[in-house]
Amino acid sequence: RLAALDRRIGEKDREAVVKATGGLDLSDLAARLLDAIDPDALAINVPKEASELERAKDAVKEQAAMLFDDHKVRTLLKDVKAASDIRIDTISVDAVVSSGWDEGKASDIVARFTKFLEEKQDELIALQILYHRPYADKRLTYEAVDELRDALRRPPWLLEPVDIWRAYKRLASEKVRGNPAGTLADIVMLVRYAMGEAESLEPLTPLVAGRFNLWLGREEKAGRTYSDEQRAWLLAIRDHLAVNIEIRTEDIMDAPEFAGRGGMIKARGLFGSRLPALLDELTEVLVA
Domain boundaries, the chain: 2-84, 103-202, 206-286
Structural contact between residues 83 and 17, judged by C-beta atoms closer than 8 angstroms: no
pLDDT at 91: 44
Q: How many other CB atoms sit within 10 Å of the CB of residue 227? A: 9
Q: How many other CB atoms sit within 10 Å of the CB of residue 263? A: 14
Which tens digits make up the pLDDT trace of 172-224? Answer: 999 999 888 888 899 999 999 999 999 999 999 999 999 999 999 999 999 99
Rounded Cα distance between 14 and 101, Å, is: 34
Which tens digits make up the pLDDT trace of 85-143? Answer: 554 444 444 444 444 568 999 999 999 999 999 999 999 999 999 998 876 667 888 99
Q: Alpha helix (H) ranges present in the chain?
A: 2-6, 11-21, 26-37, 39-45, 50-65, 71-84, 103-120, 125-130, 142-153, 161-171, 184-194, 204-221, 228-244, 249-254, 256-259, 263-271, 275-286
pTM of the model: 0.65
pLDDT at 18: 82
